[in-house]
Structure 1
């Protein structure tokens, strides 16, 4: 018996009845009171559910979507198959998001893609290095420029799963016309829903006014775990590309 269930409510109802009116075993009375107990249990469950929805930390289901719409309009939406726990974390992170700073831009894109983000500023000596200070050809530092103030070059990586799963592609032995994992696809089949435009919009929402951001979006890391498909013995090259 759990607090608020039908049996608990039935016991509560019987507890307020005079003990001398009914015997210890009263199936007819129990059947009658069970109807009221069932309704009371439903009301109790509804109250507990409504209580959860009053805070983002405990809200569930569509109430999380309503909270996101209340704070962000249509800018932040639940992705396909995104759980309540994941979407709640997205909302909480976005509400307290650091803005208009380089670390803020970097973290916003990293949170979106779940991949490392690098930022380079040609006007920033901490990025470019200098003679005798963190600089060696093809090893450390980079060429800077005084003609590119307030400019960031951002390299983001597409998240894993941002595509159409369970299909193959051209030049793959797993696909063919009318056979295999092959079909004419459109954007409705994309899972993950983190598009290049989402990355651009995140940068735009996080950057400071007057700062120019150039964004390079790299493909996700290659998963070379399928022997004979991603890695072919005697043919594929060992090591990272």
Structure 2
């Protein structure tokens, strides 16, 4: 492997000088016979080694998988402008993941919405589709769970669906409060929704697993 240290570059430059002009480089343990020449060449060698290191580092910045720092910020700006910027304290790996998601998005499916909620919150949210039997089952009650799968009307913790809401979904976010979801969260959900669908988003003060009331302010019928 080539010697890309300052001394390595200095020796290569010295080898290009006409024979007889200057003394030969000293062998190991010998005293330098041309200290002034060596000082000048070491200066060139130091600069050449710095340029070589810069080129090697720049090569890493030509691929999204290996770029870092300001190069990663410039990549995001080139592709997404001000819509995708580094958050305060966000590391390169986290920003790279968001860039990759934006470049190669999976769109239009329920898992995409679920993944956005998990990514935004750092924990699982809940997605409810009124027309999905998996989410809403049929009419039932806690006392009669076998009826309709245990999901019912007017029963805390249970819910029922409707064919009149085929393109709706409800998303519950366990943020620990009841404030409106952040604009970033809403924008990310909207970006992955299928065309023509509506998402009603609710922040909840408790974790989804501990939730006992799924009321969104009124039943859908």
TM-score (norm 1): 0.66
User: Which secondary structure state, in structure 1, belongs to the residue aligned with residue 161 of structure 2?
Assistant: coil
Q: Does 1:42 align with 2:21?
A: no
- Give the conservation status (yes or no) of the 8 Å contact 1:97–1:108: no
Shift of 1:93: 2.5
User: Which secondary structure state, in structure 2, belongs to the residue aligned with residue 69 of structure 1?
Assistant: helix
Name the CA shift for 1:139/1:129 in 2 (closer, same or farther; >3 Å). farther
Cross-structure match for 2:216? none
Q: Does 1:92 align with 2:109?
A: no
User: Which secondary structure state, in structure 1, belongs to the residue aligned with residue 37 of structure 2?
Assistant: helix
User: Which secondary structure state, in structure 2, belongs to the residue aligned with residue 142 of structure 1?
Assistant: coil
Shift of 1:3: 5.3
Distance in 2 separating the partners of 1:40 and 1:23: 19
Greater relative CO (CA pairs within 8 A, separation 6+): 1
Cross-structure match for 1:108? 116
Q: Does 1:66 align with 2:74?
A: yes
In the alignment, structure 1 segments of 5+ residues that lack a partner are: 160-194, 222-239
Q: How many pairs are equivalent?
A: 187
Distance in 2 separating the partners of 1:22 and 1:196: 71
Shift of 1:144: 1.4
Q: Does 1:218 align with 2:204?
A: yes
Which of 97, 110, 127 is the equivalent residue of 2:135? Answer: 127
Shift of 1:139: 9.7
C-alpha RMSD over aligned residues: 3.1
Q: How does 1:175-186 map to 2 (within 5 A)?
A: none
Shift of 1:91: 1.0
Tell me the alpha carbon deviations over residues 47-71 of structure 1, each in whole angstroms, 9 at most, x when there is no partner.
1122112111111122211211222
- Give the conservation status (yes or no) of the 8 Å contact 1:128–1:143: yes
In the alignment, structure 2 segments of 5+ residues that lack a partner are: 141-145, 212-221
Cross-structure match for 2:192? 206
- Give the conservation status (yes or no) of the 8 Å contact 1:196–1:217: no
Distance in 2 separating the partners of 1:66 and 1:204: 25
Q: Which moves more between the two structures, 53-62 or 128-137?
A: 128-137
Distance in 1 separating the partners of 2:10 and 2:148: 76
Which of 130, 136, 139 is the equivalent residue of 2:150? Answer: 136
Shift of 1:11: 4.2
Q: Larger % of helix: which? A: 2
User: Which secondary structure state, in structure 1, belongs to the residue aligned with residue 165 of structure 2?
Assistant: coil
Q: Which moves more between the two structures, 59-68 or 12-21?
A: 12-21
Distance in 2 separating the partners of 1:202 and 1:56: 22
Shift of 1:72: 2.2
Distance in 2 separating the partners of 1:127 and 1:54: 46
Cross-structure match for 2:5? 5
Distance in 2 separating the partners of 1:78 and 1:220: 29
Distance in 1 separating the partners of 2:80 and 2:206: 28
